């Protein structure tokens, strides 16, 4: 996808509103689990790829949620090492 590898994960659960997605991205939405998964993924993407990687959510109530991770494609093995 425009020079990036797109990884897509879908579920067919209850879905989320745009406000719930924003809370999730801001680390404010907690579940019965620890709630650190999304912030952990975002931080790892930032550490490895800076602003070149993205984590996006698409969701509708009663229609499920799709999470998409976009990672830049590079053929230089040293470009994204920490």
- 82 neighbors 23 (Cβ within 8 angstroms): no
pLDDT of residue 47: 92
pLDDT digits (tens, 9 = 90+) for 16-43: 888 888 888 887 765 655 567 888 899 9
* Domains of the chain and any CATH numbers: 4-72 (3.30.565.10)
Which residues are bridge partners to 5 per DSSP? 71
pLDDT of residue 24: 81
pLDDT of residue 21: 85
Which residue reads 């404010």 in tokens?
Answer: 28
| CA–CA gap between residue 14 and residue 16 (Å, rounded) | 7
Smallest CA-to-CA distance from 72 within 55, 56, 53 is with 53
pLDDT of residue 35: 63
Strands 4-11 and 64-72: antiparallel
Smallest CA-to-CA distance from 69 within 60, 52, 81, 56 is with 56
pLDDT of residue 23: 84
Does position 80 have pLDDT exceeding 70, yes or no? Answer: no
* pTM as predicted: 0.75
């Amino acid at each position: 996808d425009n020079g990036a590898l797109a990884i897509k994960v879908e579920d067919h659960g209850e879905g989320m509103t745009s406000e719930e997605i924003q809370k999730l991205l801001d680390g404010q939405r907690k579940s019965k689990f620890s709630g650190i998964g999304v912030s952990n993924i975002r931080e790892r993407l930032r550490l490895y790829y800076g602003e070149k990687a993205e984590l996006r959510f698409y969701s509708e109530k009663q229609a499920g949620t799709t999470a998409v991770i976009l990672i830049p494609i590079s053929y230089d093995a040293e470009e994204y090492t920490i």
